[in-house]
Amino acid sequence: MENLKNVAPIEDFNWDAYENGEAVTSASHEDLEKAYDGTLNKVNDREVVDGTVIAMNKREVVVNIGYKSDGIIPLNEFRYNPDLKVGDTVEVYIENQEDKKGQLVLSHRKARATRSWDRVNAALENEEIIKGFIKCRTKGGMIVDVFGIEAFLPGSQIDVKPIRDYDVFVGKTMEFKVVKINQEFKNVVVSHKALIEAELEQQKKEIIGKLEKGQVLEGTVKNITSYGVFIDLGGVDGLIHITDLSWGRVSDPKEVVELDQKLNVVILDFDDEKKRIALGLKQLTPHPWDALDTDLKVGDKVNGKVVVMADYGAFIEIAAGVEGLIHVSEMSWSQHLRSAQDFMKVGDEVEAVVLTLDREERKMSLGIKQLKQDPWETIEEKYPVGSKHTAKVRNFTNFGVFVEIEEGVDGLIHISDLSWTKKVKHPSEFTQIGADIEVQVLEIDKENRRLSLGHKQLEENPWDVFETVFTVGSVHEGTIIEMLDKGAVVALPYGVEGFATPKHLVKEDGAQAQLDEKLEFKVIEFNKDAKRIILSHSRIFEDVAKAEERAEKKASSGAKKSSNSGKREDSPMIQNQAASTTLGDFDALAALKEQLEGKK
């Protein structure tokens, strides 16, 4: 009690008034109200003022503007500013000083909108860095809330590197620069890329200034194309061409690298302004040729995979980055012009023999036919002269047929060796490409790797028989099967053909023989070696007429002799001989004439 201070009561305090609930001071109620109002800000509806955040939770922000009551604003109006905290000054729009509950009604969104156009123009003019809230995606970019205005952020202006997923930016607050304003349509374009370009440009200058050929740098895979990979070296881009990704063949760069992968690269080259930088990845590892087995030599067998095909050959990868060419001529002992695709395809596993090896030039040629024996080494044993075989027709020429008995063993059947009897004008009349044909080996040309073959030799020569049948002077029935300028081809018995010139086709009545007409023909020439029979129809009746004429001459000659018998007597023997010869000739000619007339 002793520590308590004695406080003197107010001398003029009205205890009666206090007891009755009346004013307790000498000041009037009006005076007190005036004094209270003097401590508050004067505010008007639809006015923008600054306020202070005095409290906030997950849904609302409480703002004091120095008025008799505080205002409450939804937190989502501050989405653009996730760093908002108690004590921050914010602008608010006074919608109503007092609602039905006596509550001050404020809006931050409307306050921003009221001042937004002035602010965004000022930001463009002053190159000011401003904050914005990315609301959603749109065609070609994003919609950004800047000062309450919906601004457009093009996809190309989000970052310096290409953006693959726009959705990750939705709901984020980022810094921007205003890059364009259309005053007429009140369109605003903002950029985030512009903020970092200046910083990157400085970094870029520093990096480019230090670039040297052969320098190894760490980079990040920024983009993958069909022809190569773009690497971000820290603000500077370089390209690894597809051929510089690996010592082996690469069909798709994605086989070697993936997006955002960090890797070491070597600088191969760059232009004077260092805008185009060529990078290499494979150069950081030894060349496979340098690691090739030192014992590998010509004649050795190797295994590999076909990586590239061309008409002229196939490239075989026997180790990553080590390839050899099998030329098409080394794929088969056959001399036929063929494509390498007839023998193999990309992806095939093949065994081959090393034909040439140049380690300095890093070139190698291979062959697969060497794995088989050359058929021409033992040609006399396998295909001796006189042996018979089945061959396949490969090609025609005007003078014969090219055939293949087996792969690598070719032969020619001359057109004259196709048939004993048929006159073949072109081999296509006798056989066809791809057909099988029986042959006999006539001659071996080992130097030119070619056999002379025959087909008709498999049968006996019918001309040995024809020689005894179609003797000169013999008469045979024939049919005209073809009319030519120089004469007619006549089909004779036994499948043989003869030829008659126009003058030998004249009939007894003077008419010319016609196609398909069947007549008697006399053989006037037979050439076994040339297989030629020359015929005549007109010679038949011409010879009869001549024989009759000769007989008449002889008869008239005999009559004269008998009239002169008084002058000279012949012996009876001589007379009888002449008469018998004459009569015999007549009898023979008469019989032949009757025979011809009977046939007609």
Confidence (pLDDT) at 269: 86
Classify residue 480 as left (phi > 0), alpha (psi -120 to 50) or beta.
beta
Decide: helix, strand or coil at residue 417: helix
Positive or negative, the CA dihedral 463, 468, 469, 475 is positive
Nearest to 230 by CA among 216, 247, 244: 244
Confidence (pLDDT) at 16: 65
Q: How far is CA 248 from CA 211, 244, 295, in A?
A: 28, 9, 22
Instruction: Please tell me the distance from the alpha carbon of residue 553 to that of residue 575, in angstroms, as a whole number.
Output: 17
Residue 497 has which token pair? Answer: 């053909």
Residue 112 has which token pair? Answer: 């921003």
- pTM, two decimals, is 0.41
- Cα end-to-end distance, the chain, whole Å: 181
Tell me, rounded to whole angstroms, the distance of Cα 593 from its chain centroid: 82
Q: pLDDT 10s digit of each residue in the chain, 600 long? A: 444 445 556 566 666 666 665 555 555 556 555 554 544 455 666 678 888 888 888 889 888 888 777 888 888 888 878 888 888 888 888 877 777 676 788 888 788 777 778 888 888 888 888 888 888 888 888 899 888 788 898 888 888 777 778 888 888 888 888 888 888 877 889 888 888 777 777 777 777 777 788 888 888 998 999 889 998 887 788 899 988 888 878 888 888 888 889 999 988 888 766 568 899 988 888 888 877 777 888 888 888 888 888 888 889 888 878 888 989 888 887 776 678 887 888 888 888 989 988 888 888 999 888 888 777 777 777 888 878 888 888 888 888 888 888 887 888 888 887 877 677 788 887 888 888 888 888 888 877 788 888 887 777 777 777 888 888 889 889 999 899 888 999 988 888 889 999 988 888 888 888 888 888 899 989 888 778 899 998 888 888 878 887 877 877 776 665 555 544 444 443 333 333 333 344 444 444 445 444 444
